[in-house]
Structure 1
Amino acid sequence: MIPHSRRQLRFPRAPGLRLTMAAMLILTLAACQDEAVAPSEGRPVRVVTVEAGKLSSDIKLSGEIQAEKNVGLAFRIGGRVIERQVNVGDRVAAGQVVARLDPTLERNELTAAKAALQAARGEVNTARNMFERQERLMAQGFTTRPRFDQALKAEETAQAQLENAEAQLELAQDRLGFTELRAGIAGIVTARTIEPGEVVQPGQVVIQLAREDGRDAVFNVPARLLETQVGDSTIRVALADAPTVTALGRIREVSPQADPVTRTFTVKVGLIDPPAAMQLGATVVGTLEVSTAAIITIPASALTQQGQSPAVWIVDPASSTVSLRNVDILRFDPDDVIVSQGLEPGEIIVSGGIQALHPGQRVRPLPVTPDPARSAAARPASRPAIPPS
């Protein structure tokens, strides 16, 4: 006899129930078939195309404005200073007198030279008359050859003394003119080392002039920065207290020897059309953009790990399958990763949806949609952006 509990588990043999169960089985098989077909289309992921760029960084240094050319003024002769007409900061024109020496000695020499010239002219006249007389007597046969030669020699000597006296007069006039120190160019007085009453030597620089036809921005640069190949890079120079006042320049001179105290090298940057506000001695800040060799920047979301090494998923365009490849990282940024080795420009990598991937898996790139967060914030110019593909 069958227990009562087992009699309750028996199913009735009704034809309608069999049809219902068969329909449910068919629907279940269809659903399984749909699930089997879906993966063949590939897992949806976001991808980007690798592009090469350059990593740039700004180097900023503090310096000052100096004249491109400085001229030292000095007297050609020695003497006692009796007048100084300029001070530091004064503008002088070409030919302007800036200082004077006591001209008493030079005036006396000029007077003596004039007197010597007059005497030499008298000697020339006397010698010429004697020679002309001897010449006439020689033609008539009333004089001798020695007397004629003596008169000729006396005339030549007197003529030479006259020429010497004329040269001495010119020299005395020049020396009198040298008692006035004149500026040969227009410029600004940047230094002076004399006062009235002082005695100066010939060639001693007493006034320093800065020419107005050029300005330099001078910086003290550490040796490590000189290793950067700046070439003909343009340097932006701005006033420290007025950053809106700017000018562009190029390096025109680098000191071959380091300063013995600071161990830095002096670099002069020639400014191109500097504004008038960049006066001599003003403090400026120079900015130089230095670029590295070609590098590759990828989104930080594309980075995964293979063992102990960083890696990325590479998409094969022909088969739409992915493979894992190790890469070398140069630098980590908040949103990007700078890759030094392991990727080539033009390759496609997975940037989103890397968690469930496995080698050889088919993927399907998702349509490109703009990222509001990345669009709102401008990316730094020092990091090249890689547009998504």
Structure 2
Amino acid sequence: MATRFARHCCLSAALLLTLSAWAPAHAETPATRPVSTLKLQGQTQGTERQWDGVIEAVRQSTVAAQVLGNVTALLVKAGDTVKAGQVLARIDARDTTAGLLRSQADVAQAEAQFNNARLQWERSQSLKAQGFISDAALDSARAQWQAAQAGVAAARAGRSQAALAQGFATVTAPFDGRVLSTHIEMGDLAAPGRPILTLYAPRPMRAVVQVPASQADQVRTAQRIEVALPTPGGATTWLRPTQVVALPGADPVSQTVEWRLDLPDTAARPGQNVRVRFAELRNDPANAASTASQLTVPASAVLRRGELTAVYVVRGGRFMLQAVRTSTPATSPGPITLLSGVRPGDTIAADALKAGLANATPTKP
């Protein structure tokens, strides 16, 4: 029995050794996936620059409270269309009403004092003519009359101010427009200067773009400026602004120059992102290096995953993912302009999706 078991173990071990020696020689090598490549070449022309911009209303106002009090009514919400003079909100007016009543009482008191001083002044004039009072007494009566006259003017001014403050308890629209957002809720405490809502006029709109200060001079030579806006069908249309204004100074923190591009009649909304193109730039020797460094590749060669924009570069006979920066929007179906991350002479995958698969092998460009 022991001899048979030992013989069985020896046969099993020999079979395992035979299979282990045979397996590497006959294992199937995984198939490679050839992926076409292209070699990057610098372009000597760079007659266009593009940056992201944002839509904003030419006429926009933040309506703020001008008196202290709780908000008793908020009569509009974001998206509502309003007319000039329409009531937007109401603030508790009890304090302003009491102030108006107090100022009216001050006016009545000042007028009574004025009437008394006037009568005293008239009596003093009569007594002085009869020689019963001195010049000093007459001067004192005249001064009291003039002071009472000034008191009446001050009291009436206070009454006007109190009436104006009571009017501030009713917040109205300064112009025809649409409510962009509200910044307060009913019951909140309003204070002078605290925003209540933001109002804008739907027409006209403008695109605002921040241009790097280092390229501001070259951008000023653009012969054509266009703004890309989406159409209802999902396509993109390029519009020329009706007026272009570049602010004279640069932002000290971001080192950018703000350009404001007034748009023709459009359905764009404030806060919407757009693409601004400065085309047909004049050649500038100072920008020759940056111009030559721009590379254009097919859209299929660029991989976009969330915030990542990259291409597959050939390194050591295989693909390596390399992050890049582009000047073309992600939704553009046309060629993509690479600004940084690669350089002329690099070889990249023509199809980034195929290059990311297992066993992807680059071919010669």
TM-score (norm 1): 0.53
Distance verdict in 2 for CA 1:293–1:166, change over 3 Å? closer
Structure 1 residues 188-212: Cα deviation after superposition (integer angstroms, max 9, x where no partner): 3222211111112211222222344
C-alpha distance in 1 between matches for 2:284 and 2:134: 102
Structure 1 position 148, deviation (Å): 2.6
> Is the Cα–Cα contact under 8 Å of residues 240 and 283 in structure 1 kept in the other structure?
no
Shift of 1:231: 0.8
Question: Are 1:77 and 2:64 counterparts?
Answer: no
Partners of 2:237 and 2:152 lie apart in 1 by 65
Relative distance call for 1:227 and 1:64 in structure 2 (3 A) is closer
1:154 alignment partner, one of 140, 144, 152: 144
Query: Cα–Cα, structure 1 residues 293 and 58, in superposed 2: closer, same or farther, change >3 Å?
Result: closer
2:219 alignment partner AA: V
**Separation in 2, partners of 1:330, 1:87:** 50
Runs of 5+ consecutive residues of structure 2 not aligned to the other structure: 1-43, 286-291, 297-334, 336-365
Asked if 2 retains the 8 angstrom alpha-carbon contact of 1:85 and 1:98, the reply is yes
CA distance in 2, matches of 1:117, 1:219: 56
Q: State TM-score, norm by structure 2.
A: 0.56
Per the TM alignment, residue 97 of structure 1 is displaced from its structure 2 partner at its CA by: 2.7
Matched ranges for 1:147-186 at <5 A: 147-186=137-176
For 1:273-352, what aligned pairs fall within 5 Å after superposition? 273-275=264-266, 277-291=267-281, 293=283
1:270 aligns with 2:224: no
1:157 is displaced (CA, Å) by 2.3
CA distance, structure 2, for counterparts of residue 107 and residue 209 of structure 1: 28
Distance change (3 Å), C-alpha of 1:64 and 1:294: closer
Partners of 2:279 and 2:206 lie apart in 1 by: 19
**Distance in 1 of aligned mates of 2:215 and 2:158:** 57
In structure 2, C-alpha distance between the alignment counterparts of 1:228 and 1:141, rounded to whole Å: 88
- Aligned-partner SS, 1:81: strand
- In the TM superposition, residue 143 of structure 1 has moved relative to its aligned partner by 3.3
Aligned to 2:97: 107
Distance 1:266 1:189 in 2: 29
Change (3 A) 1:255 1:215: farther
Given that residues 240 and 285 in structure 1 are in contact (C-alpha distance below 8 angstroms), is that contact kept between their aligned partners in structure 2? no
- 8 Å contact from structure 1 (residues 218, 266) kept in 2: no
1:63·1:217 contact (CA, 8 Å) conserved in 2? yes
| Paired AA for residue 167 in structure 2 | G
Structure 1: which amino acid aligns with 2:205? R
- Residue 255 and residue 81 in structure 1: after superposition, are their counterparts in 2 closer, same or farther (change >3 A)? farther
Q: Does 1:248 align with 2:240?
A: yes
Q: State the identity %.
A: 26
Give, in whole Å, the separation in 1 of the partners of 2:252 and 2:111: 61
Q: CA deviation at 1:141?
A: 2.1
Q: Which moved more, 1:280-289 or 1:127-136?
A: 280-289
SS at match of 1:76: coil
Deviation at 1:85, TM superposition (A): 2.0
**For 1:237, which of 227, 231, 236 is the aligned residue?**
227
| Deviation readout 1:122-158 (Å, 9 max, x if unpaired) | 1111111121112112112233434333322321222
Q: CA RMSD in A?
A: 3.6
Distance 1:330 1:132, change over 3 A: closer
Q: Relative to structure 1, is the Cα distance of residues 146 and 266 closer, same or farther in structure 2, using a 3 angstrom cutoff? A: closer
SS at structure 2 position matched to 1:293: coil
Query: What CA distance in whole angstroms lies between the structure 1 residues aligned with 2:221 and 2:174?
Result: 33
Higher gyration radius (CA)? 1
- Number of residue equivalences: 242
Aligned CA distance change for structure 1 residues 207 and 294 (closer, same or farther; 3 Å): closer
State the distance in 2 between where 1:68 and 1:153 align. Answer: 56
Give the aligned partner of residue 128 of structure 1: 118
- Contact 1:55-1:292 at 8 Å conserved across structures: no
Q: For 2:107, which of 111, 117, 122 is the aligned residue?
A: 117
SS in 1 for 2:218: coil
Distance 1:273 1:67, change over 3 A: same
The corresponding residue for 2:305 is: none
CA shift at 1:173, angstroms? 0.8
Q: Report SS of the residue matched to 2:283.
A: strand
Separation in structure 1 between the aligned mates of residue 101 and residue 284 of structure 2, nearest angstrom? 79
Alignment of 1:218-229 (within 5 A): 218-219=208-209, 223=212, 226=215, 229=218
How many angstroms apart in 1 are the aligned matches of 2:193 and 2:240? Answer: 37
